[in-house]
Every structure is written in C-alpha cells, then in structure tokens.
Amino acid sequence: MKTLGLIGGMSWESTAIYYRLINEMVRVRLGGVHSAKLLLWSFDFFDIAERQHAGDWAGATAMMINTARKLEDGGAEAIVICTNTMHMMAGDVQAAISIPVIHIADATANAMKEADVSRPILLATRFTMEQDFYKGRLVEKHDIRPFVPDTDGRDTVHRIIYEELVRGVVKADSKVEYEQLVSRMRREHHVDSLIMGCTEITMLIGQADFDILVFDTTAIHARAAVEWALG
C-alpha cells in the first residue's frame, strides 16, 4: 500500500469525510483491521478562505505548494487535495513536487464516462463555477460540458457553502433551495446529470434526492485515491 498525502482543512468538515471514506474503502478492499497509510495536513480554513475572497490566489498557491512539499518530504507518495476549489492551483502544485497529484476533476470525468453522461449541472463554490480551471479541464480533456447556474443561483450555492456547510450547519431550507435550483436548470437545459462540485455539498444533497445521476466528487476522489494507493 502506498502512502497518500492529504491536503485538508478546506474545510475540515469535508476532510473528515475523506478520511472516513478512504479508510473504509481500504478496509473493504483488504479486509480485517486494515486502514489507509495517510499523512494529513489540515489548514486553518480561515487563512485559506480569506485569501480566496480577497482574490489572493498567489498567496493561496504558495501555501498549497509549501504544504505539498512538506507531505512529500514526510513520505507521501501522492497528493490528494481534499477540495474542488483549490484544484485551481493543482498544476502549480504538481510542477513543484515529484509525486503525482490525483486530480478530482479527472476522477469525476472518468466516473461520468463510465456512466455515459456528458452534460452535467455543476454546483460548486463561485470560484469553481465561474473560473475555467475546472470547467475547462472537463471540456478540453474529457469532452464533458457542464452547465452552471445563473448569477442568482451561483450566489445561492456559494452562500450556503460558506455560511453554512463549511461551518457544519445543514439546513432543510437550504436543501430545498438546491433542489429547486436543479429543477429549474433541468427545465432550461438539456442536462443528464449533476456534479456536486464542492466537497461539502455531499452533506446537504445526494443521489436519493434526484432522478438524474449525481456525482459525489468527495466519494469519487476518495475512491480514485484508494485505487491508486492499492494499485
């Protein structure tokens, strides 16, 4: 079993889900009392979120690179960035280290290809929905064409993530808002699936809430990491 280096704390709510899923998957694969070989760096999310909303992506990138190098020096054999948004600097992180970064968008795209869908709704932070690092990778590398909500919809999704989910707050009213948003988008676009493109969204909605395929990027990314670690 190879050692995975997790960059977490963005937020710790979803990092805890990663930790549980990876260990559960290893136990299922290997049986007995097996668990994953992990190194975990958990940020104080305040420091990350402050830079995100200030647009200080250079500062955030420097923090990510520094952490990835520490994990590599500590014995990690691959890096798992435990968030969709911070894959914005995945390329810079990869260029700074000699071990692979297991990319969440590639793992999600591979799962979508296996399911033969290619026109998803993408719900995520405003940064992921509005910038091209994630959507562009899906289009250019995988021929998957995501649809994002309009301005009001993006504001709603982002607000619920940062004011509620990253703080561990899960509200029934917010779930309804997400479900209504998806319903509107299905009427407006010819979509065939939904990407939960923020790792905290799995706390609020899931496959049981919809009759289209839902791709839980947290679970998909964790599975890809385990498959890599176990070979």
Any idea which residue has 């607000």 for tokens? 159
Domains 4-103+220-230 and 105-216 share a fold: yes
Kindly tell me the burial class for residue 79, based on how many C-beta atoms sit within 10 Å of its own C-beta (0-12, 13-18, 19 or more).
Answer: buried
Q: State mean pLDDT over 108-125.
A: 98
| Confidence (pLDDT) at 146 | 98
pLDDT of 176 reads 98
Query: Given pLDDT bands bounded at 50, 70 and 90, which one contains residue 179?
Result: very high
Structural domain boundaries in the chain: 4-103+220-230, 105-216
Domain 105-216, second-level architecture: 3-Layer(aba) Sandwich (3.40)
Identify the CA nearest to 104 among candidates 72, 130, 128.
128
Name the pLDDT band for 166 (thresholds 50, 70, 90).
Answer: very high
Question: What fold characterizes domain 4-103+220-230?
Answer: Rossmann fold (3.40.50)
Cα(40)–Cα(6) distance, rounded to whole angstroms? 5
Q: Which residues are catalytic?
A: 83, 198
pLDDT digits (tens, 9 = 90+) for 125-140: 999 999 999 999 999 9
17-51 tens-digit pLDDT: 999 999 999 999 999 999 999 999 999 999 999 99
Cα-trace Rg, the chain: 17
Mean pLDDT of the chain: 97
Running DSSP on this structure, what letter comes out for residue 168? T
Q: Return the pLDDT at 228.
A: 98
This prediction has a pTM of 0.95
Report the share of the chain in percent with pLDDT over 70: 100
